[in-house]
């Protein structure tokens, strides 16, 4: 895979440039929307939910920023990746290129937007008087896992979208439900231990929880927490690669 990526490096770079230009075409702020959009959403969530959930939650702004940061990256990456094959069908039906290049280009674009927002996040952390410790280095682990998880989910969704166009509407409903199940703006302390354990079945909650433990609680999650996160990545990435390998030739007949 890496060898083919290097071999088609020029095409990959052009795809990334095209995706950026297409996303911000005819906008006044351009890439500024990558920073402004999550900040506006954060402001709305803080105003609405502070009175209901944030009164007794320490560093509530950072708390919801963690959730919003992770979930927005996941949602944008997978939704754009879902249509990556269909949007580039005119290319791979005429030229023999690895089809996952189109998905990876979408992920690079959303990852850059995520990194820009991450810088703003750290500025908010500094203003909220939270200490920057060596434990912040551990954030590289959930970030890397999240990138791979998004790629895996993108592979699955883009393959399914080729055969079933209805998946885009179902996925919109799914992501909306997932947002409410990821404890972005509320805490799970009031739930029973059994109910709290059910949240661990949600991979997005794991990523959000990891960020909060490092940034707000200044503690490193346990080994089993790391292993559970890695298992989610392996399952998503493995299933996505399997689907691309199995249906690689069939994609040509359905686009």
What is the pLDDT averaged over residues 158-166? 88
Mean pLDDT for the chain overall = 83
pLDDT, tens digit (0-9, with 9 covering 90-100), for 79-136: 988 988 787 777 666 666 777 788 888 888 889 889 988 988 998 899 888 989 999 9
pLDDT, tens digit (0-9, with 9 covering 90-100), for 117-127: 898 899 889 98
pLDDT, tens digit (0-9, with 9 covering 90-100), for 192-223: 888 899 999 999 999 999 999 999 999 999 99
In the chain, domain spans: 2-254
Q: Provide the pLDDT for residue 69.
A: 92
Torsional sign, CA 58, 64, 69, 71: positive
Rounded distance between C-alpha atoms, residue 118 and residue 65, angstroms: 10
Whether residue 50 is predicted with pLDDT greater than 80 in this model: the reply is: no
Task: Find, among 158, 144, 153, 146, the residue nearest to 99 by Cα.
Answer: 158
Q: Provide the pLDDT for residue 43.
A: 73
Whether residue 29 is predicted with pLDDT greater than 70 in this model: the reply is: no
Q: Provide the pLDDT for residue 191.
A: 87
């Amino acid at each position: 895979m890496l060898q083919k990526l290097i071999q088609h490096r020029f095409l990959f770079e052009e795809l990334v440039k095209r995706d950026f230009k297409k996303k911000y075409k005819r906008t006044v702020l351009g890439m500024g929307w990558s920073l402004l959009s999550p900040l506006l959403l954060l402001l709305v969530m803080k105003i609405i939910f502070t009175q209901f959930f944030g009164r007794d939650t320490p560093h509530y702004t950072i708390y919801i920023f963690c959730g919003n940061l992770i979930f927005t990256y996941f949602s944008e990456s997978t939704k754009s990746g879902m249509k990556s094959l269909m949007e580039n069908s005119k290319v791979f039906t005429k030229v023999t290129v690895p089809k996952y290049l189109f998905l990876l280009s979408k992920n690079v674009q959303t990852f850059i937007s995520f990194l820009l927002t991450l810088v703003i996040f750290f500025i908010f952390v500094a203003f909220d008087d939270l200490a920057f410790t060596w434990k912040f280095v551990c954030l590289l682990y959930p970030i890397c896992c999240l990138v791979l998880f998004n790629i895996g989910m993108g592979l699955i969704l883009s393959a399914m979208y080729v055969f079933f166009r209805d998946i885009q509407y179902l996925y919109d409903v799914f992501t909306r439900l997932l947002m409410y199940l990821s404890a972005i703006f509320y805490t799970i302390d009031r739930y029973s231990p059994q109910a709290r354990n059910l949240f661990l079945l949600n991979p997005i909650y794991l990523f959000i929880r990891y960020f909060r433990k490092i940034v707000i609680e200044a503690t490193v999650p346990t080994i089993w927490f790391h292993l559970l996160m890695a298992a989610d990545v392996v399952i998503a990435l493995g299933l996505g690669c399997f689907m691309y390998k199995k249906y690689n030739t069939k994609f040509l007949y359905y686009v």
